[in-house]
């Protein structure tokens, strides 16, 4: 029973987020690091490329050095 409640709550939250206008979603994305904002592309077709419309996305090289180093050493 508890698991069913969790699933319903999750669906309700997802529905709430899907009803938000693009301006609100791009504002949310603007609060993320660039790599996190780009990862949001996988959420749905609506989110695809939405990060490009954000007025400000934080780019922090220190935040990206470790993943880039790991990629280069593969």
pLDDT in tens, 13-41: 667 777 889 889 888 888 888 778 888 88
What's the pLDDT at 33? 80
Mark residue 30 as left, alpha or beta (left: phi above 0; alpha: psi -120 to 50; beta: remaining).
alpha
User: What confidence score (pLDDT) does residue 32 get?
Assistant: 81
Return d(Cα 68, Cα 14) in angstroms, integer: 32
- Where do the structural domains in the chain lie, given as residue ranges? 2-72
34: Cα separation from own chain's centroid: 10
How many Cα atoms occupy the beta-carbon half-sphere of 11 within 13 Å? 6
Q: Considering the entire predicted model, what is its pTM? A: 0.55
Confidence check: pLDDT of 4 > 60: no
């Amino acid at each position: 029973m508890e698991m069913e409640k969790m699933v319903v709550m999750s669906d309700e939250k997802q529905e709430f987020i899907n009803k938000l206008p693009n301006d609100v979603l791009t504002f949310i994305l603007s609060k993320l690091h660039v790599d996190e904002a780009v990862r949001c592309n996988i959420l749905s077709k609506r989110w695809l490329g939405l990060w490009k419309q954000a007025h400000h996305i934080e780019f922090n090289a220190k935040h990206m050095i470790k993943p880039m180093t790991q990629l280069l050493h593969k």
